[in-house]
């Protein structure tokens, strides 16, 4: 098969390869390398061991907890100690295998070990493929907040092996699809058309439509980060990397007030409906585009309503979000399909009415 990779044209360009069996390309990145450390989620230990047997290098397998518990200072320290014990040098390579938490951690370990060693990312969820693996954000959490410590560090390459998605629960595939559909709304409406034509196929691991959608979403993110890797402040209609935060202002607040019991994509789905309500009430988008948010997200089995907590709680959580600049609230909103702007400090009654509309569905 021809892989047709997506180029990420940042200062240190790299490619994202997407397809069933893409992890078979890993040995090409590791030719002549003496030592490799595979930092992997515990849940994909079998896959990590399989990859290790195919490599012509001394491999250290470093298992980390599944999900956010991977991103702690203690786990980071354990990884550094494992590298020290393996005698890991500047010419050795770190491979990150797992969901976005494992790859965020592995990228940060690669960025900091001996001030930076080569890194290859193998994301194993749709969410990690279309979001965490592209754009160089790495980091860990502190007790006081998520991603408070981190840096930008780009991989040598990203291998999105769609075969691994077959073992994911349906809800996890749908959660990743929320970020794919976000890319449709903010930049590439063909994603929405393609998804609406075959939603079941889109949620079937390694299907042709799923590959197409993931590839298009990766291409959207690649273009955005190539233009604004470090997320400079956007202003009005000139929206840089902040564009990727569509649906995330309320989405992050829902994750927080729900004690991270919601999947990321589920919270972002509700957050996108909220942003669409806000844009509609501000006269920026029409009825049809507002309705399309609800219909396409519902087709993916994602939530489009929310009334879990009082508005005041969400409002406080949003103003404390680390992405708020100062304590002023900023929303990425659409002014049409694939057209966006930043709405800073919208009127409180507009926010409250948009939130109330989420309860109604």
- Residues near ligand GLY (CB under 6 A) are 131, 135, 137, 241, 244
CB of 72 to ligand GLY, least distance (A): 20
Question: Could you give phi then psi for residue 242, rounded to 5 degrees?
Answer: -60, -20
Nearer to ligand GLY, 194 or 231 (CB): 231
Do residues 139 and 100 make contact, with C-beta atoms less than 8 angstroms apart? no
Least distance between ligand GLY and beta carbon 24 (Å): 27
Q: What is the Cα–Cα distance from 195 to 182, expressed in whole angstroms?
A: 12
CB 249 within 8 A of CB 323: yes
Q: Residue 223 Cβ, how far from ligand GLY at the closest point, in Å?
A: 13
CB nearer to ligand GLY: pick between 98 and 135: 135
> Shortest distance, CB of residue 268 to ligand GLY, whole angstroms?
10
279 in Cβ contact with 346 (< 8 Å): no
Task: State the minimum distance, in angstroms, from the CB of residue 186 to ligand GLY.
Answer: 11
Whole-number Å distance between alpha carbons of 128 and 254 = 20
Q: How far is the CB of 85 from ligand GLY (least distance, A)?
A: 32
- The answer to whether the beta carbons of residues 329 and 316 sit under 8 Å apart is no
Residues 42, 25: Cα–Cα separation, whole Å: 22
Q: How far apart (Å, rounded) are the C-alpha atoms in residues 289 and 285?
A: 6
Nearer to ligand GLY, 60 or 141 (CB): 141
| 213/244 with CB nearer ligand GLY | 244
Considering the complex, state which of residue 92 and residue 131 has its C-beta at the smaller distance from ligand GLY. Answer: 131
Residue number, 167 or 238, with CB nearest to ligand GLY: 238
Burial (Cβ within 10 Å: 0-12, 13-18, ≥19) of residue 203: buried
Nearest residue by C-beta to ligand GLY?
244
- Quote the CA–CA distance of 275 and 265 in Å, as a whole number: 15
């Amino acid at each position: 098969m021809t892989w047709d990779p997506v180029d990420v044209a940042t200062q240190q360009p790299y490619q994202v390869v997407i397809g069933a069996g893409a992890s078979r390309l890993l040995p090409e990145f590791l030719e002549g390398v003496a030592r490799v450390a595979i930092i992997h989620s515990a849940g994909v230990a079998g896959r990590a061991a399989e990859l290790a047997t195919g490599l012509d290098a001394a491999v250290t397998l470093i298992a980390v907890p599944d999900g956010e518990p991977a991103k702690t200072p203690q786990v980071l320290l354990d990884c550094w100690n494992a590298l020290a014990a393996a005698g890991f040098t500047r010419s050795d390579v770190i491979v990150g295998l797992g969901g976005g938490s494992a790859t965020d951690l592995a990228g940060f370990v690669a960025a900091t070990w001996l001030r930076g060693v080569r890194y290859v990312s193998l994301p194993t969820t749709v969410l990690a493929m279309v979001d965490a693996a592209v754009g160089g954000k790495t980091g860990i959490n502190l007790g006081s907040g998520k991603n408070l410590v981190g840096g930008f560090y780009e991989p040598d390459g990203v291998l999105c092996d769609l075969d691994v998605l077959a073992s994911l629960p349906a809800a996890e595939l749908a959660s990743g699809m929320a970020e794919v559909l976000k890319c449709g709304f903010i930049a590439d409406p063909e994603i929405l058309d393609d998804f609406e034509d075959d939603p079941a196929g889109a949620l079937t691991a390694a299907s042709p439509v799923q590959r197409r959608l993931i590839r298009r979403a990766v291409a959207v993110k690649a273009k955005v980060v190539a233009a604004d890797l470090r997320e400079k402040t956007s202003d009005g209609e000139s929206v840089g990397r902040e564009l990727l935060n569509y649906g995330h202002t309320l989405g992050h607040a829902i994750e927080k007030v729900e004690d991270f019991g919601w999947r990321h994509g589920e919270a972002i789905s509700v957050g996108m409906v909220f942003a669409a309500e806000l844009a509609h009430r501000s006269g920026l988008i029409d009825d049809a585009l507002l309705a399309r948010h609800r219909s396409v997200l519902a087709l993916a089995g994602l939530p489009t309503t929310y009334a879990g907590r009082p508005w005041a709680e969400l409002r406080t959580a949003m103003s404390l979000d680390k992405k708020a600049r100062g304590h002023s609230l900023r929303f990425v909103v659409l002014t049409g399909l694939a057209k966006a702007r930043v709405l800073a400090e919208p009127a409180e009654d507009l926010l409250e009415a948009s939130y109330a509309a989420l309860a109604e569905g």
